[in-house]
Structure 1
Amino acid sequence: MTVEQFRALHHGRVPGDPVILPGPWDVASARVLAGAGFPALATPSAGIAASLGYADGATPPDEMFAAVGRIARAVDVPVSADIEDGYGLAPAELVDRLLALGVVGCNLEDTEHGTKRLKSPAEQADYLAAVRQEAGDRLFVNARIDTYLRGGRTAEEAVVRGRAYAAAGADGVYPIMAAPDHIPALAEGIGLPLNAVGHPKFPPPEELGRLGAARITFGPGLQVKAMEALGGLVQGMAPQR
């Protein structure tokens, strides 16, 4: 699948039928998910961090890129990479590294890596515009909006950011942890394919799609569930001390 075909997955979705992109955290999980028939995958930075022994947000960039590259090379379906805020890399270097990995897209969040500072809409839009200029049409840029994680609770605040990111050339927006009842206003107000997060406290993907989400990802949720399942499998197997 080409980048153009991956981009097309996000458009013309029937309400209630969003594209579902599960998140592999290593090669083994990527092969299982690709084998299940999903059209593409989207790596979660938090899931990869956990698999490598780091706290969320603490993975050294070189290790994150290496892990994503292993995943992308291991499967025949397109892979989009969560690369947090770009790790402070200049847009040209960032794009070169992503293309060298063989991925078709990336998430770029508006929280500054390390400080956890929420960037201004203009600051993040400038960075996204520079990434778009370097990438041309070769990457699907999914602009993550972190206002719901950083104290903001209004759709209006997320729409302001989303419109700025759309004008900068983003292909999609990801207002992570937005309340489901905000999704219709966000999708209509921003006008780009909207990525909603699949989460136990939210409605199922089909309902998120009916509300206006074009794409569903799960963050580290699948990795967490897999580790819980592993714990259940070995429960009682350990020798008593």
Structure 2
Amino acid sequence: MTLHESTMSTSTIRQRFLDLHVPGRPLLMPNPWDAGSAKVLESLGFRALATTSAGFAGTVGRLDGRVTRDEALRHAEQVVAAVTVPVSADLESCFASDASGVAETVRLAAAAGLAGCSIEDYDSDTGGLFPIAEAAERVAAAAEAAHAGPDPFVLTARADGALHGLEGPDETIARLRAFEEAGADVLYAPGVSALPELRRILEAVSLPINVLALPDAPTVAELAEVGVARVSVGSGFFLAAMGALAAAGRELLDEGTYQFWDSALRGQEATRAAFA
């Protein structure tokens, strides 16, 4: 039995995750890329975590979108087992082209002990978005699978058009409203972070809204003021770690010096505290 299983039931963890979504008091939900980074983030005080598809793919030397469903779910299980806080999974477009396959992915995610997962409306096979009716059908299938059990499994439905430069604000709102009607629990439009656009979204829907903290995003306090319920960082922390690694490598190669130990010692302190 894992520490996660022994300290709190899956049902309790899932309910706690759902309860943490409070508009105006954003849940800060960072995205670890392995069990070690998950432990560090939990030790810092974060109350929930989410996997990152790009970060996980990076750990096996691949680009985002290049891992299989089985690999993503095994990875999610490892993160769940490493921590005691709720974990949601970034499952891309649920690794399926049809609604029945989407539902199966969500059932497997729930069986892995996750508190929730997300579904995208981006079709990596075509490089476009699923048509809105089809995207809503996929969310409905995911929601039915997510809510079939006795305890809440939090489904986050993503409208990814803004992130890929494929749609304007009106279509994003139309998709989010369709996903709300289809049974999602949380809505997410990565790439949308300007306060005027967020206000429009928050006026158009009633579900909690997640915002992706990109470089130009408003501060957490500003997001709280307009009613955002959750803030995540996507691959940001993984890329920050890779940036530090690249900088350390360049310093050793180009300068022959060891200033990287300044941040490395802080990392040593963090890992000792997290892994004890």
TM over 0.5: yes
Q: Does 1:101 align with 2:117?
A: no
The aligned amino acid for 1:127 is: R
Secondary structure of 2:122 counterpart: coil
Selected match of 2:184 from 170, 190, 195: 170
Deviation at 1:166, TM superposition (A): 0.4
Selected match of 2:155 from 131, 134, 141: 141
Aligned to 2:123: 112
Deviations 1:197-226 (A, max 9, x none): 111122222222223321000110110011
Aligned to 1:206: 221
Q: Distance in 2 between matches of 1:5 and 1:26?
A: 22
1:182–1:240 Cα change, 3 Å:
closer
Q: Distance in 2 between matches of 1:175 and 1:239?
A: 41
Selected match of 1:48 from 40, 56, 64: 56
List gaps (5 residues or longer) in structure 2.
Answer: 1-11, 257-276
Deviation at 1:38, TM superposition (A): 0.7
The aligned amino acid for 1:107 is: S
Runs of 4+ aligned structure 1 residues displaced above 6 Å come to none
Deviations 1:96-129 (A, max 9, x none): 3102211011110001233322011211111111
Aligned to 1:225: 240
Is 1:42–1:80's contact at 8 Å kept on the other side of the alignment?
yes
Deviation at 1:238, TM superposition (A): 4.4
The aligned amino acid for 2:101 is: A
Greater mean deviation of Cα atoms: 51-60 or 225-234: 225-234
1:113–1:238 Cα change, 3 Å:
same
Q: Distance in 2 between matches of 1:35 and 1:58?
A: 30
List gaps (5 residues or longer) in structure 1.
Answer: none
Q: Distance in 2 between matches of 1:19 and 1:149?
A: 21
1:90–1:152 Cα change, 3 Å:
closer
- Identity rate, percent: 36
Aligned to 1:70: 78
Selected match of 2:34 from 26, 49, 53: 26
1:240–1:203 Cα change, 3 Å:
closer
**Number of residues of Structure 1 aligned to a counterpart in Structure 2:** 238
Q: Distance in 2 between matches of 1:154 and 1:183?
A: 13
Aligned to 1:5: 16
